[in-house]
Structure 1
Amino acid sequence: MQIVIPKEIQPGETRVAASPDTVKKLCQQGHQVLVEHNAGLAATWSDALYIEAGAQIAADTTQLYSHEALILKINQPNTQEIDLYKPKSALVAQMNIHRFESLPALAAKAIDTYALELIPRITRGQSMDILSSQANIAGYRAVLLATQYFPRFMPMFMTAAGSVKPARVLILGAGVAGLQAIATAKRLGAIVEVFDVRPATREQVESLGAKFIEVELNDEERAAFEHTGGYAKEMSDDYKARQSALIAQQAASADIIITTALIPGKPAPVLITPETVAAMKAGSVIIDLAVAAGGNCPLSRSDEVVKSANSVTIVGHANVPVLVATDASSMFARNVLTFLGLLLNKEGQYAPQLEDEIIKATLVTHAGSIYFGSAAAPKAAPASPVAQPVAEPVPAPAAAITETV
């Protein structure tokens, strides 16, 4: 089966699903790789680099999708792209599966669709984990975005003109993005405080030199966390009230707030209320990394910079990894290359290991049937060799912190 790398068409997208390095490895394994013209240009990779790696360049989508193929993408396809796909092709991408509405169109063409965001958080899945690789980039770049809008220095300075106090950074959510944001802010000399609903994250936060802030849990809440492995979950109204009061108190003294909290398949929880923003200092900055899922602050707007009445800047960049396109693409491409080891055999043929737990978790359409969400095929009578339809992402082990960006 031919491997196809299209140019991403989502507005503002600068990444590409395969790098010259991963294309070279695929070609060395005997696969034929077809790259759309200028697919990697925004990530600084010219067509010449892909040709040097062994790929062929398709002048347009007609040539790109002329045969049944294994299609590697960053983002989920739109209906126009799906119309171009040949029946019985295969698609590997971050599908934004909880909000993707075109699974029936893919199933109608008997396309095998793999949603990379559903890779289970098990040890052998770490090298394929696109959410973690891209969240690392988002956490790093969020701090640099904050320095762009913050009107003061980040570290402490002692100069002949006087001393400058270090900035106080509050990070909400100690998942992959949050931990990277902590490390980056500390390198820049900030005082960092971190809030997370999961007590299990304290050790990691403190190991990076930040102060951990937590809502005191009652016995029932503590027991609930013990049964969920320490993962973020929907909390009680009483807990939310205590959480809101604590965050509002910390926000009032913060110079920069970076929010990363997400709950898979649900709107992002509101952590920074308009009242909390109104009590913040003029010149403060909020970077809302959850804005694509509704935002952790109701005042944030997707891909906009908003200034509140009291001069707080709220940045809602919906796709932060595109700001670091080369490394983001390289990391995504390596994740995909590892994943393809479960789809391609040594003879260069498409031969998915359907009984593998990672394939079971990520395969959302197969042989004309849907295996995710309300449109999923009945569990009692799956229409494919896959053991069971996947209705929800497989939960992660307690060692991985993944319920935030």
Structure 2
Amino acid sequence: MKIAVPKETKSFERRVALTPSVVKSIVKSGFTCIVESSAGEESYFSDASYEDAGAVIVYGTPQTLSGADIVLMVNAPTSQEINFMKDGSVLICYLYAYTAPEVIDALNKKRITAFSMDAVPRISRAQKMDALSSQANLAGYKSVLLGANALGRIFPLMMTAAGTITPSRVLVFGAGVAGLQAIATAKRLGAVVEATDVRPETREQVESLGGRFIQVEGVEGVKVEGGYAREVSADYLQKQQELIKSRIKEADIAITTALVIGRKAPILITEEMVRSMKPGSVIVDMAVESGGNCALSVFGKTVVEHGVTIIGEPNLPSLLPVNASELYAKNISTLLLHLANSSGFKWEMEEEITKGSMITHDGELVHGFTKEILAKKNP
């Protein structure tokens, strides 16, 4: 079977779906691997390194995709890239299908079976396939470094002959994988860290990393499924904002990670809150690609509002392209080898990982959660 890895074309993207070391293992498994020339260039992997690993270098996206049985990508393909793909082929990438009905339609017209890396079930035997976690870890780490670089003071307590420098204060919104890594990184750098999350069960994890957990008390309204917030009530958000108002005034850096699947990211930091922050403080909005948690965030830009630096970097893992590509390549290749061997796909339609990650098949949308979200958007 022929696997194709095209060069990513999405803005702010520097990752590549397969690295040379993973190509080598896939070729040993009996697959033919085709890599578009310069696909790994932004991740510092040369064409020569792919050729040494056993890949065939092809020039041009149409030539790369047209003969492939399997296409591996980081981001969802464009309509033009889908047109280049062979009818009945298989695609594996991040799809976030509930946000892209036009991509689903294009895939179905060509009867392309698509598996989405963001839909891989969060179960123990799928941990090596969990690209969301591997990339979120890197994003959480990088968010702290960006914030520290923009801040006009150091993180740790420092005692000098000229006087004592008090530690910086970091406030993290959300204690998922990215938030927990942000907490751990900020603590390692010596900051005092506070964190808040709609899920009270994350308190133990926050405190185990040395952070102080701030919890909204005495209000219900958070619906959690599979470890993610699916729905947050208006009453809860109001109470949360009241709590945040009192804490954000003291923060030197605020890092936001809050997402609600299938919906725009909730506004957690209002303009009024930004105005209340200390001059020179920093906000890193990790949810900017989904609308942003800060009312003043600007996608893809760093802006200064009311004396506060607001960082709207949309693709933090891509700022660490070597590690991000290495981890993603292991995730996607593990999923591929679970679904198929060099002779073809197993098509175990009721198997948990297959069923959970398959979005389209045989010209139809087959993913239950995506159907549910799209039905709500288009009743």
* Aligned AA (2:42): A
Shift of 1:229: 7.3
CA distance in 2, matches of 1:231, 1:213: 18
- Deviation readout 1:359-395 (Å, 9 max, x if unpaired): 11221111111224xxxxxxxxxxxxxxx786359xx
Q: Which residue of 2 aligns with 1:48?
A: 48
User: 1:47 is matched by which residue type in structure 2?
Assistant: D
Q: Which residue of 2 aligns with 1:19?
A: 19
For these two proteins, the number of residue pairs brought into alignment is 372
SS of 1:296's partner is: coil
Deviation at 1:116, TM superposition (A): 1.2
The answer to whether the 8 Å contact 2:130/2:331 transfers is yes
Matched, 1:349 2:350: no
1:308 aligns with 2:305: yes
Unaligned 5+ segments in structure 1 are 373-387, 394-405
In the other structure, the counterpart of 2:362 is 367
Structure 2 SS opposite 1:147: helix
Q: CA deviation at 1:230?
A: 6.6
Which whole-Å deviations, capped at 9, do the CAs of 1:211-243 have from their partners, x for residues lacking one? 01101124xx28x76x85775243333322211
Say which is worse superposed, 166-175 or 99-108, in terms of deviation.
99-108
Q: Which amino acid aligns with 2:294?
A: C
Q: Which runs of 5+ in 2 are unaligned?
A: 374-379
1:91-130 → structure 2 map (5 Å cutoff)? 91-100=91-100, 101-130=102-131
| Alignment partner, residue 205 of structure 2 | 204
- Cα contact 2:174–2:258 (8 A) shared by 1: yes
State the superposition RMSD in angstroms: 1.8
Distance across 1 between alignment mates of 2:117 and 2:269: 30
- Give yes or no for contact 1:290–1:296 (8 Å, CA) kept in 2: yes
Contact 1:37 1:59 in 2 (8 A): yes
CA distance in 2, matches of 1:354, 1:206: 41
Contact 1:137 1:321 (8 Å CA) reproduced:
yes
User: More deviation in 72-81 or 354-363?
Assistant: 354-363
SS in 2 for 1:234: strand
- Please list the CA deviations of residues 167-208 of structure 1 after superposition, one character each: whole Å capped at 9, or x if unmatched: 000000000000000000000000000011111000000000
Aligned residue identity for 1:322? S
1:240-276 alpha-carbon deviations (Å, 9 max, x no partner): 2211110011000000000000011111011101111
Which residue identity does 2:143 align to in structure 1? A
> Which residues of 2 match residues 148-167 of structure 1 at below 5 A?
148-167=149-168
Specify the alignment match of 1:252 in structure 2. 249
Cα pair distance change 1:313/1:389, threshold 3 Å: closer
Answer whether contact 2:87 2:110 (CA < 8 A) is retained. Answer: yes
**Percent sequence identity over matched residues?**
47
CA contact (8 A) 1:360 1:390 kept: no
Does structure 2 retain, via aligned residues, the 8 Å contact 1:68–1:87? no
Q: Label 1:217 to 1:115 Cα distance change in 2 as closer, same or farther (>3 A).
A: same
Contact preservation (8 Å) 1:371, 1:389: no
Which position in structure 2 is the counterpart of 1:134? 135
Q: Which residue identity is paired with 2:166?
A: K
What does residue 284 of structure 1 align with? 281
Q: What does 1:82-93 correspond to in 2, within 5 Å?
A: 82-93=82-93
Q: Specify the alignment match of 1:185 in structure 2.
A: 186
- Paired position in structure 1 for 2:376: none
User: Could you tell me which residue of structure 2 aligns to residue 170 of structure 1?
Assistant: 171
Q: Could you report, residue by residue, the CA deviation over 1:324-343 in whole angstroms, capped at 9, with x for unpaired residues?
A: 00000010010001101222
Task: Identify the residue that residue 265 of structure 1 maps to in structure 2.
Answer: 262
Equivalent residue in structure 2 for 1:321, among 313, 317, 324: 317
CA distance in 2, matches of 1:259, 1:277: 13
Q: Which amino acid aligns with 2:327?
A: M
Distance 2:118 2:232 in 1: 24
Query: What secondary structure does 1:75 align onto?
Result: coil
How much does 1:150 deviate?
0.4
Aligned equivalents of 1:97, 1:138: Cα separation in 2: 22
- Compared CA separation, residues 306 and 171, structure 1 to 2 (3 A): same
Describe the SS at the equivalent of 2:294.
Answer: coil
Task: Quote how far apart the aligned CAs of 1:67 are.
Answer: 1.3
Greater strand proportion: 2
Pair 46,87 (structure 1): closer, same or farther in 2 beyond 3 Å: same
* DSSP 3-state at the match of 2:239: helix
State the alpha-carbon separation in 1 of the partners of residues 86 and 233 from structure 2: 48
Q: 1:332 to 1:366 in 2, by over 3 A?
A: same
Aligned partner of 2:146 in structure 1 is 145
